Amino acid sequence: MDGALIAAAKLLDEAKIREVLSYIVRNAIDSGYGPVAGPAIETLEQRAIAAQDARLLVYAASAWNVTGNEKNARNTLFQAMELVEAGRAPLEGNDLGLAAELAWRIEGRGKAESMIGIVDKMGFNDPSAIDHLVEFMRPISPVVAAQLSDKQTEVWRRITGLANVAIQIAGDTK
């Protein structure tokens, strides 16, 4: 891990450094080395803060969450959302959906219906983000997934989301 971080730091382009750090974190977690990924996640977080990159902060928060560090996940997600709310770093699509998913995992305490409140509080209506959340919530709570699908601004996405919820319910009854 240390060697990978040293190698990444030697790159000349800051954007490439963040990209490589993101890859290092993802690879460490995917390969089962999440417990020792802390220094890489911390470095990624610091670089993302310096660059005011909310997307990478959300990714770092997700990595903290996956490694079981809820306190760091909460703090990092909070920093990302502060950037978004201040208008300095927008989130779109799946990144916004991941932020809502993380907020639910951290603050929702396992209550499916709390996702609706999180989405309303975050005040987003990005179709890709809502698609992400419908798919995430479908196996957890088809009712909440259907409610999220109703927030879609595009009719075809709403119909697709509801059809997928119906498929989930049909599969659950077998």
Q: Are 17 and 9 in contact (CB under 8 A)?
A: yes
pLDDT (tens digit, 9 = 90+) per residue, 131-162?
A: 999 999 999 999 999 999 999 988 999 999 99
Residue numbers of the chain with a pLDDT score lower than 70: 174
**171 Cβ neighbours under 8 A, 6+ residues apart:** none
Whole-angstrom distance, CA of residue 43 vs CA of residue 40: 5
Looking at 75, 90, 105, the residue that finishes a domain is: 90
- The pLDDT, as a whole number, for residue 174 is 67
In this structure, the answer to whether residues 79 and 114 fall within a common structural domain is: no
**Shared domain check, 77 and 107:** no
Is residue 81 located within the same domain as residue 97? no
On whether both 85 and 140 belong to a single domain, the answer is: no
Residues 61 and 118 in one domain: no
99 and 20 together in one domain: no
Q: 79 with 3, same domain?
A: yes
**Model pTM score:** 0.82
Residues 74 and 132 in one domain: no
Vertex 124 angle, CA 123 and 130, to 5° = 135
Domain with 169, as residue range(s), is 92-174
Count of structural domains, the chain: 2
- The string over 72-102, giving b where at least 16 C-beta atoms fall within 10 Å of a residue's C-beta and e elsewhere, is bbbebbebbbebbeeeebebeebbbbbbbbb
